[in-house]
Amino acid sequence: MFRHFCILCVAACSLWSAIIGLLVVACSGGGSGGGGGERDGTVKLFLGKLQIPMFDSISVDVSGDNMANIHISKSTLEDNLKIEGIPQGEYRRFEVKIFASGKLVQKGEADVNIKAGESITIPIKLEALFGFLRLEIPLGNSVVSSGKLLLDGIEYNMKMENGKGVFNTGVLPLNTELPLKIYLLGINNTDTLFIKETKITLSSISQSEAIQLTSSKGTANLEITISSDSIQMKAMLPESVYGEKRIPREYGEIFFTEIYASPATTEDDYFQYMELYNFSSDILQLSNNCKLVRMDNGTEHKITNLTILPMSYAIIGRNKVTNKDYSCGGFTLLKTTMRLGLFCGDSAIDTLTYSNKTFPVIKGTAMQLPLKNYENRTLGSSWCLGFSPRDDAICP
């Protein structure tokens, strides 16, 4: 009987940490908007990728001299917030608060001057006050059917999501060492197949946000991306329980889920990367028999040794990509139109033709594919902008 796990911890913004001292980081992003009159402004709050379990609401308060306070609150993250009637003036304070499970879990504020015909950038700090834990276990062909997580004396049951066992906790305190114990059970829900005991500490490191305020005739557009304060962990079972370890042989067993083809400057092209997802229940081994191909001109890059566990991601990146699983060296991604393919032997495992006319290929941002859209991944409308390495994408 196997009695161990290899646990990997991932914080927001693709920063990595050890099991003790997990990171919660606010990530920066952007949007756009406009409209308004000569004196009063309209502010739109654009939300980025925001995954907070047990989410209740998000609120924004605007205050300042010679103006009535403005308050807006929403209980959904599906739409952009819009705040109307903000008078021009100095020291307009924007306060953002996020509530989950009845608690204030994240907050931030910024003071800005709203003037017509002016564009300014100011920083805002988002502070996580509480945390959450999400633990994923790719199950593959294993005989695991259920599981339990004990954290700080509270028991959580495992749920099945797309071939993974998933635990989502309630609100957790930060900067406090918490005992953690995982049980995975067999088919009859009685035999304990795997067990792991450890301790974790959730801590918060806030990062300055970039907020772009564009004023024209008294209209301001507030762009902000709020980080998730949910820590993500992945627990991997021993390889021997995942079933067959083999070279991919069928189309769609592995497919592209994220492509960063157009960095902000040409000097940053060495940050280009591709993300692959193993959609099978086997361990797939990319070896000398497999290659990346630019199908427009036949340029190839042979993959010598890359293993992807079932229902898991792998990052193939150029020289400056940190935390990549495999280096593709000089294999470059085109920023306009490209026919990209992954082949093993004579079999096409995945192909993708993208164009900046029909796909979201924009400087400084990756394009990403939610797993739910995999059957229509050849359509540009199935992709959206954003960064979600080793995580399922969320499109508006």
- CB-CB contact of 336 with 356 (8 Å): yes
Measure the CA angle with vertex 161, ends 158 and 165; round to 5°: 35
- pLDDT of 7 > 50? The answer is no
Location of each CATH 2.60.40.1260 domain in the chain: 244-385
- CB-CB contact of 201 with 23 (8 Å): no
Burial class (CB in 10 A: 0-12, 13-18, 19+), 346: exposed
Three-state secondary structure call for residue 375: helix
* pLDDT one-digit tens code per residue, 320-334: 998 899 999 889 999
* pLDDT one-digit tens code per residue, 343-384: 999 999 999 999 999 999 999 999 999 999 999 999 999 999
Tell me, yes or no, if the pTM score tops 0.85.
Answer: no
Among 252, 251, 254, smallest CA distance to 275 is for 254
- The CA-atom distances, in angstroms, between 86 and each of 64, 71, 235 are 10, 11, 48
Report residue 156's pLDDT band, with 50, 70 and 90 as the boundaries.
very high
φ and ψ of 156, to 5 deg: -125, 135
- pLDDT of 340 > 50? The answer is yes
> Kind of pairing, strands 230-236 and 6-10?
antiparallel
Three-state secondary structure call for residue 311: coil
Half-sphere exposure (Cβ direction) of 53: Cα atoms closer than 13 Å: 16
The pLDDT score that the predictor gives to residue 41 is: 53
Question: Could you give the CA distance from residue 58 to residue 55 in angstroms, rounded to a whole number?
Answer: 9
The pLDDT score that the predictor gives to residue 124 is: 58
* pLDDT one-digit tens code per residue, 227-237: 444 566 777 77
- CB-CB contact of 171 with 103 (8 Å): yes
Q: Return all residues near 119 (Cβ < 8 A) that are at least 6 apart.
A: 212, 213, 214, 215
DSSP 356: T
φ and ψ of 205, to 5 deg: -125, 115
Q: What token pair was written down for 287?
A: 């070896």
- Looking at 3.30.70, 3.10.450, 2.40.10, 2.60.40, the CATH number of the domain 40-129+205-227 comes to 2.60.40
> Has domain 244-385 been given CATH number 2.60.40.1260?
yes
- The CA-atom distances, in angstroms, between 39 and each of 35, 218, 301 are 12, 5, 58
- Looking at 3.30.300, 2.60.120, 2.60.40, 3.30.70, the CATH number of the domain 6-24+130-203+234-240 comes to 2.60.40
